[in-house]
Amino acid sequence: MAAVEKQCCYDSGASHSFRFYLEHSGEHTAILQCVHNVLPAEFKRIGLDKSSLDVLGVGSGGGEVDAQILTLLQSTFPAVPITTDIVEGSVQLTDNFKALVAKTANLQKIPFTWHMVGSENYEKQVKAKVALKKFDFIHMVQMIYYVDNLADTIKFYHSLLKNNGRLMIIVEAANSGWDILWKTYKKELQVDAITEYRSSAEVIACLKSQGLKYEEHAAPNTFDITGCFNPSSETGQRLLNFMTAKDNFSQSFTPDIRAGMLDLLRNKCSTEKDGKVFFDSNLSCLLVYA
């Protein structure tokens, strides 16, 4: 995690760790399935009688999810022009996103504005302008963990919604394996890139406190972490590194802490089936009304 840009959590080695996690977790598949289930009907409501549509992606990473969202929006309103602003602090992931746009014909029809900053700095830049650009659809996929102030962040992005717009927040589900692990070992884990872990429970409490109307949709997911309990499994050790946000799980904690985490992962965060251990990685998709 870069000191200046708190959201730049996936540069250099961390980006490779994130890619490895995505390859083994099925997380993007779960997110995209939820997006395809939920967004077509939402887009029809959002875009009704609009002559143009403006989208904002916050913490968009390599753009894989954004590409699907924008393609869905284009297919819903093929004749309506779309603009897209992207807020992403990681140079490496933004370059990946630009490369994806360059090889995807339908995305090349959309003008992109790239904001190479983290969420907080984008907020400062926007507030310094006289005229605010507002958006029909804003999405924050798996990035709410990296902002300094949850309430302020939600309030700010909600203020950027146009009439009938939607803010979509995708986050780890309350009582998921992530939620249990990161809250049980708060002292050990919430110290570097993520200093305040939030699941859907914290986000929903924040939405309620601000009196915002929202819908919640489940995005179920599990993935195999059997290798995490085998010290000689490279896959298992690399998953543990990502899941605890450490470069080296086996050297980052005392033997007692490591044993406690592994016991928690097996018995409280996962289910066993046919001799394999499957981590509960359920997500929640929250659609917030303008």
Across the range 267-274, mean pLDDT stands at 96
pLDDT above 50: residue 10: no
pLDDT above 70: residue 122: yes
pLDDT above 50: residue 6: no
3-state secondary structure of 82: strand
Flag whether 5 is in a domain: no
Question: Token digits for 218?
Answer: 């489940």
Amino acid present at 151? A
Indicate the pLDDT class of residue 13, thresholds 50, 70 and 90: low
3-state secondary structure of 272: strand
| pLDDT tens readout for residues 68-91 | 999 999 999 999 999 999 999 988
74 compared with 2, residue with greater pLDDT: 74
Flag whether 245 is in a domain: no
pLDDT above 60: residue 250: yes
The CATH code of the domain that includes 129 is: 3.40.50.150
Flag whether 209 is in a domain: yes
Flag whether 261 is in a domain: no
| pLDDT tens readout for residues 39-56 | 999 999 999 989 999 999
Indicate the pLDDT class of residue 9, thresholds 50, 70 and 90: very low
- Please tell me the predicted confidence (pLDDT) of residue 53: 97
The answer to whether the beta carbons of residues 240 and 248 sit under 8 Å apart is: no
169 closest CA partner among 132, 133, 193, 201:
201
Indicate the pLDDT class of residue 259, thresholds 50, 70 and 90: very high
| pLDDT tens readout for residues 180-231 | 999 999 999 988 778 889 999 999 999 999 999 999 999 999 999 999 999 9
The answer to whether the beta carbons of residues 143 and 87 sit under 8 Å apart is: no
Supply the DSSP string of 182-227, one letter for each residue. HHHTHHHHTTSS-SS---HHHHHHHHHHTT--EEEEEE--EEE-GG
- Please tell me the predicted confidence (pLDDT) of residue 266: 97
pTM of the model: 0.91
53 closest CA partner among 97, 84, 14, 16:
84
Flag whether 146 is in a domain: yes
Structural domains of the chain, count: 1
3-state secondary structure of 273: strand
Q: Which helix (H) or strand (E) holds 161?
A: strand 161-172
Across the range 126-146, mean pLDDT stands at 92
The answer to whether the beta carbons of residues 53 and 80 sit under 8 Å apart is: yes
Indicate the pLDDT class of residue 92, thresholds 50, 70 and 90: confident
Flag whether 255 is in a domain: no
Mean pLDDT of the chain: 91
- Please tell me the predicted confidence (pLDDT) of residue 2: 27
What backbone phi and psi angles, to 5 degrees, belong to 148?
Answer: -70, -45
The answer to whether the beta carbons of residues 32 and 65 sit under 8 Å apart is: yes
Flag whether 105 is in a domain: yes
CA-CA distances (angstroms) from residue 188 to 5, 48, 180, 191, 241?
22, 48, 13, 7, 13
- The number of angstroms, rounded, from the C-alpha of 28 to the middle of its chain's C-alpha atoms is 10
Query: Please, which contacts does 180-186 make with residues 24 or more away whose CB atoms are closer than 8 Å?
Result: 180/264, 180/268, 180/269, 181/243, 181/244, 181/261, 181/264, 181/265, 181/269, 184/264, 184/268, 185/244, 185/257, 185/260, 185/261, 185/264
- Please tell me the predicted confidence (pLDDT) of residue 172: 96
160, HSE (Cβ side, Cα atoms, 13 Å): 25
Flag whether 257 is in a domain: no
Q: Please give the residue range of the domain that contains residue 217.
A: 12-224+281-289
- Residue 144 DSSP class: G
